[in-house]
Amino acid sequence: MTVAGRTALVTGGSRGIGRAIVESLARGGARVAFVYNSNSAAAEAVAAALQAEGHEVWAIQADVRSKPAADKVVADVVEKWGRLDILVNNAGIIRDGLLAMMDAQQWQDVIDTNLTSVFNFCQAVTRQMMSQRYGRIINMSSVAADVSNPGQANYAASKGGVEGFTRCIATELARRGVTANAVAPGFIETDMTVAVVNAAGDEIKKKIPVRRLGRPEDIAGAVMFFAADESSYVTGQVLKVDGGLTLGGL
């Protein structure tokens, strides 16, 4: 599976799953731009480490919730490298809380970051990818879109929205050589999940058939499959990468 010579853009690329995706794409031969929100030190560390290995990597600060910001990021990448072949919408947050106590800001923050940002960047890349007659869009979902977890109404809604959105744009873009797929991680060891893992790590592992938590590299491998030239006949799909967690439910 190859991404050599391709140009990629990853949102939320400075840590966790996003960092693993950036590293995999760069080491696979792609030129990679990635968006980060506020942690410039982490972003610069990722870019510097990969640049030291000889890869073309560019860290861009932007608010993924902003449509004008997304448009500018995409325009800047195309101006710099001449094309944009791969988009990975990975930026995401959690703001858990039971419905009775969830405030409007908790809801809106999650929807804007996890779902609206996907619209922002997908729309921004569409014309470029259609004109190239080549593109790979990979959106990050979650098993939470299918499995009911108390306290995650906002998160589940955002990820369910991502999956429906992905299937819809897949049908719109297929004739122009652009695929759109989603990856749905289970429990992955990242900064975002550390509180959950610390509270119930052993119990969670018992519910996962492979008996371990996922690693960011596990998700990056799935993204690489969808990003590769060879996946041109796969579109509108959601790939669960959860160690078998959803086979028997929670």
Instruction: Give the residue numbers annotated as catalytic, written as ranges.
Output: 155
Helix ranges, the chain (H): 16-27, 40-52, 67-81, 104-111, 117-132, 153-173, 194-206, 216-227
Two structure tokens written together for 37: 């929100």
Task: Dihedral sign for Cα 74, 75, 80, 81, please.
Answer: positive
Q: Give the separation between CA 175 and CA 188, rounded to whole angstroms.
A: 35
Nearest alpha-carbon partner for 39 in 5, 62, 65? 62
